[in-house]
Structure 1
Amino acid sequence: MKIVKIETAKVSIPLVTPFKTALRTVDSVNDIVVRVTTDDGNTGFGEAPPTAVITGDTQGSILSAIQEFIAPALIGMEIENLDGIMKKLHGCILKNSSAKAAVDMAVYDLFAKSCKKPLYKILGGGRGEIETDLTISVNGIEEMVNDSRKAVSQGFRILKIKVGKEGRTDVERIQAIRKAVGPDIKLRIDANQGWSAKEAVRIIRTLEDMGIDMDLVEQPVNAHDFEGMKFVTSQVYTPILADESVFSPEDAIRIIGERAADLINIKLMKTGGIYEALKICSIAESFGIECMIGCMLESKISVSAAAHLAAGKGIITRADLDGPSLCREDPYTGGPVFDGPKIFMNEDPGLGISKVPAFGDCWNKIK
């Protein structure tokens, strides 16, 4: 299976409700989808969201990176030469992690198809089912409480609460949500870099003193403030999850070595795809540090790739893969089944995605 073509297309999928964090407000998924075709007619799919405030990638930069640098470097290479492809992918252009991720997952899709197995089994997977949380966007307290109650009524047992805009009000938000959903629902608090280190400690300690149990607090301070992360982690009982602070295996080594966080959040758009994410998994496993698998504002293609990674790696103990649940519609056929909080892995080869309307009525050759 030799790569003969790498194509891109734009997709726009409306969200059920606007997605609001301390960094941005978005009302639709506007991603780039990728199709890699081999000389025997098989196709692999990938996806990249433009998340300029986190990765620095825009639609234009993703398209340019793929069309001008990545495609010329990879066309003509054999899919079975996976390591060689990944070295070319990551060496042909610096940064541009989202563009690399989209092509990476399409190549892994094809590689698993060449083995005639679902990707998660190629990655070592024994889990056929994953449970994800659901994100509650930062809004007024009453609206966040109502959104939380609705999520619980839909079967979600884990809520990811977006905060980070106003410290005192953030405490009130979390307190009100905990009271509304009861003690059995897990709360993950995501500040999206919105607090200073001292503010984060004050807020988390206040919540702990109130008896509000939290599964974790995600990225309380600026991504580059490793000292601040270390300070917060050392001063509170609640586990601290590093997200924007960890893009690469080198970042993971630093976070773990400096004891700057208790957990690591892996996102394919930060790592540049599955290849580098697997390195972070190995590093974390070596030190006994559990990981969460997360996503940006992505639709089913790239979230499916993340789900396959999660199902394949036992060190990934938490999932924040609610992207498809936030979308008003699912334009794709095949792949894992996203049923509320449950993700059921497919047994079709590769990612299992069989139809992507952005490329017309194209169906994968291998069934």
Structure 2
Amino acid sequence: MEIASIETFRGGIPLHTPFKTALRTVTVAETIIVKIACEDGTVGWGEAPPTHVITGDSLASIQYAIESIFKPILIGESLNAREQLFEKVEESMVRNTSAKAAIDMALYDCIAQQANMPLHQFLGGYRERIETDYTVSVNRPEEMAQDARKYINNGFSVLKVKVGKDEIATDIKRIQAIRAEIGPDVLIRLDANQGWQAKEAVRAIGKMEDLGLTIELIEQPVNAHDFEGLKYVTQHTETPIMADESVFSPQDAKRILSMGAADLINIKLMKAGGIHQAMKIAKLAESYGVDCMVGSMIETKIGITAAAHFAASQPNITRYDFDAPLMLTGDMVNGGITYKDSRIELGKEPGLGIRSMNQSFIVE
């Protein structure tokens, strides 16, 4: 089955509430959508949002990479030689991981449809359904506590709380306010988005431990390139530490794992360059006995569907951060994963199960 055409579209969906982290504030989910059509009529979908502060990718750079670099080397190629396809994409450009991810997930969608299997089954089929957390954006402590209560009332039992934007004392007040509002039984994960220095992170986490705030894990407390600092925090705290922005590639993962610099790894398709490279990271982590989370940027249901299928396929991917479509005011596509409160159903349709695109959210 040969690739007949590759098209790109710019899309945008407003968020119903601004998404705030230590790195940025997002009000509209902008994205580049990829449509790969094969000669037999099979259609695969992918997407890539611009996340300048993490991947360095913009709408323009993503679209250029797909249209000018990947499209010429893929059209006319056979899906039967899929390892060659993924090799061509990876070697054709350095970095540009978001653009690579969009092409990668569209290719996997076509390949799994060719195999007549849902993508998660094609990749390994470890789980049939998963459960996402919900993110509490960084705001005033009282506002974050109210948001946390709302999400719990909406059926979520795991919260991912953003910190790292202000002084650590303020972050501790935020967690105290949330705990006071929702009680001790709800799982809380913290994401500092590189907002702390290593020694102050150790002091902050130690204070949270002494206060009995019961944090499940803390994600990326220090700068992405500060591997030694990440190791210092991991070695000097009891709370598990997760590497996120520090791990883009399998090479990054190997360094983190061999150093013992983190207890867990957060894999994102937009960092890894798609499922093909993400699978290598997951397998490498598994060889070290390390569990992974799969998360996302602010993506529409296209990207989250691909990420969810990948996450459900592997045994050591035990945590899921797929709430982005729930933050949007509409759906970019018909089909894909479905939500019931925090539970995600992957569906039984071949590939990603995406049937069509919603034209009302296409920008141009």
- For this pair of structures, how many residues does the alignment match? 361
CA contact (8 A) 2:162 2:191 kept: yes
User: Which digits, 9 at most, give the CA deviation of each residue in 1:158-197, with x for residues without a partner?
Assistant: 0000010121100100111011111110000000000000
Aligned position for 1:227: 228
Aligned position for 1:337: 338
Q: What is the 5 A alignment of 1:171-320?
A: 171-320=172-321
**Distance in 2 between the 1:103 and 1:49 partners?**
13
Tell me by how many angstroms 1:260 deviates.
0.5
SS in 2 for 1:106: helix
**Amino acid paired to 1:313:** Q
Aligned position for 2:58: 58
**Amino acid paired to 1:165:** K
Tell me by how many angstroms 1:359 deviates.
9.9
Q: Under a length normalisation based on structure 2, what TM-score does the superposition of the two structures give?
A: 0.98
CA contact (8 A) 2:12 2:361 kept: no
Q: What is the 5 A alignment of 1:64-79?
A: 64-79=64-79
Tell me by how many angstroms 1:110 deviates.
0.2
SS in 1 for 2:47: strand
Q: What is the 5 A alignment of 1:88-167?
A: 88-166=88-166, 167=168
Compute the RMSD of aligned alpha carbons.
1.2
Tell me by how many angstroms 1:360 deviates.
10
CA contact (8 A) 1:159 1:188 kept: yes
Aligned position for 1:169: 170
**Amino acid paired to 2:37:** T
Q: Which moved more, 1:239-248 or 1:166-175?
A: 166-175
**Distance in 2 between the 1:36 and 1:181 partners?**
45
Tell me by how many angstroms 1:16 deviates.
1.6
**Amino acid paired to 1:353:** I
SS in 2 for 1:202: helix
Aligned position for 1:9: 9
CA contact (8 A) 1:29 1:297 kept: yes
CA contact (8 A) 2:7 2:34 kept: yes
**Alignment gaps of 5+ in structure 2:** none
CA contact (8 A) 1:9 1:359 kept: no
SS in 1 for 2:332: coil
**Amino acid paired to 2:32:** I
SS in 2 for 1:189: strand
**Distance in 2 between the 1:315 and 1:80 partners?**
28
CA contact (8 A) 1:10 1:358 kept: no
CA contact (8 A) 1:22 1:165 kept: yes
CA contact (8 A) 2:11 2:361 kept: no
Report sequence identity in percent. 53
CA contact (8 A) 1:32 1:47 kept: yes
Kindly report structure 1 stretches of 4+ aligned residues shifted beyond 2 Å.
Answer: 357-361
Q: Which moved more, 1:186-195 or 1:329-338?
A: 329-338
Aligned position for 1:20: 20
